[in-house]
Amino acid sequence: MNKILADYDINELLGLLCGQPKYIAKQILSFCARGADIDGMTSLPKKLRDELKLEFFEKPLYKAEIFNSKDGSAKFLFKLNDGNLIESVFLPNNYGNTVCVSSQVGCRMGCAFCASGMDGLARNLSAGEMLSQVALINSHFGGSLKERAVSNIVMMGSGEPLDNYDNTLKFVNLISSPDGLNVSERNISVSTSGLCDGIVKLAESGHNVTLSISLHAPNDDIRKQIMPIAKRYTVKEVVGSAKYYFEKTGRRVIFEYSLIKGVNDSLECAKELSELLKGFPLHVNLINLNPVKDAGLKPSGKDRAGLFLAELEKKNVSATFRRSLGSDIEGACGQLKRKYLKEVSHDH
């Protein structure tokens, strides 16, 4: 089985290259952070490149398709070496650009509103496969290692990062490495559907990433209707682990809340949510549901969403509506890949 060079950190590279000087290992790290293939690592001796090619894939992933939105965002469909497809999104902001990274092919959490989970989990992504999404998008938009076109990373593509904990942490290490893209942990958000054990582990890991928790409901009854993970952890446990994360890291936790018509968008829900979340620094990101075909769920109306936000503000819960970019290129997680797969299978 071929391996992926971008999966290796500096110590592993030194072990692999036994006897080679450290600067060679550093060069490989920086090539990987630029998304180079092995043939493109031109400053390495030809003999070493040939040896590497015997053991490693030429490249961790390939650009299969790019969809540019009118608003400046772009969705990338990447093909992995085993033929699987994943997607990443480039989101321009006035404070710097964000890349939304996938952590798994599919997802096994099965949330009712999410396209990524509809076919279950195919496999975990390796750290290098996550890194390469950012590396290729950064180079695509003319960024280098010194002057990056990407300043922020959100792990909000397909997959549940904390269900792929070790590779996610390794990705954070690789992408924040000074020999690589050098993205500060403060600019990396790990988004989870609320795997409390993973949150506690992350809190104790000594890392300092931003934690986003997809809550989407103020109580267990509603959460169970839309998120199977709610059968494993109660909302109280989820909020408890968020508090713990804050205590350990000093980082304000973000709660994601997608408004779904008639499910979680009532004034009563907003009241219950503010009651649940009071007492520690946090922020609620409201977004309107991106309707996914076959899920039968609808976004909340503008008026209702406005009332929901106003109620949170009234209760002094810090909350904002998140901008929804890329609606013309199928913005919601997992949508593009499904559409692409359908079109490809129509063609054949």
Binding mask 228-257 for ligand SAH (x = CB under 6 A): ----------------------------x-
Specify the amino acid at residue 39.
D
The residues facing 257 across adjacent strands are 286
Interacting residues with ligand SF4 between 168 and 227 (CB under 6 A): 193, 214
Tell me how far apart the alpha carbons of residues 116 and 121 are, in angstroms, rounded to a whole number: 9
Interaction between residue 117 and ligand SF4 (CB under 6 A): yes
Binding mask 89-108 for ligand SF4 (x = CB under 6 A): ------------------x-
Q: Which residue has the tokens 């030809």?
A: 46
Specify the amino acid at residue 161.
P
Interaction between residue 289 and ligand SAH (CB under 6 A): yes
Whether 269 contacts 308, CB under 8 Å = yes
Whether 137 contacts 150, CB under 8 Å = yes
Size of the site for ligand SAH (CB under 6 A): 17
DSSP line for 26-45: HHHHHHHHTT--GGG-TTS-
Pair of tokens at residue 293: 């075909």
Tell me how far apart the alpha carbons of residues 35 and 147 are, in angstroms, rounded to a whole number: 15
- Picked from ligand SF4, ligand SAH, none, the partner binding residue 287 (CB below 5 to 8 A depending on kind) is ligand SAH
Interaction between residue 124 and ligand SF4 (CB under 6 A): no
CB of 155 to ligand SAH, least distance (A): 6
Residue 333 annotated among the catalytic residues of the structure: yes
Tell me how far apart the alpha carbons of residues 24 and 18 are, in angstroms, rounded to a whole number: 11
- Picked from ligand SF4, ligand SAH, none, the partner binding residue 152 (CB below 5 to 8 A depending on kind) is none
Tell me how far apart the alpha carbons of residues 255 and 260 are, in angstroms, rounded to a whole number: 16
Encode 69-106: b = buried (16+ Cβ within 10 Å), e = exposed: bebebbbbbbebeeebbbbbbbbeeeeebbbbbbbbbb
Binding mask 6-45 for ligand SF4 (x = CB under 6 A): ----------------------------------------
Interacting residues with ligand SF4 between 144 and 163 (CB under 6 A): 158-160
Q: What separation in angstroms does the CA of 273 have from each of 190, 322, 323?
A: 22, 18, 21
Interacting residues with ligand SAH between 93 and 132 (CB under 6 A): 107, 113-114
Residue 87 annotated among the catalytic residues of the structure: yes
User: Contact with ligand SF4 (CB under 6 A): which of 61, 114, 127, 284?
Assistant: 114
Interacting residues with ligand SAH between 148 and 187 (CB under 6 A): 156, 160
16 φ/ψ angles, rounded to the nearest 5 degrees: -65, -40
Specify the amino acid at residue 228.
P
Active site amino acids: 87, 333
Binding site for ligand SF4 (CB under 6 A): 107, 109-111, 114, 116-117, 158-160, 193, 214
Give the footprint of ligand SAH on this chain (CB under 6 A). Answer: 107, 113-114, 156, 160, 191-193, 214, 256, 258, 287, 289-290, 292, 332-333
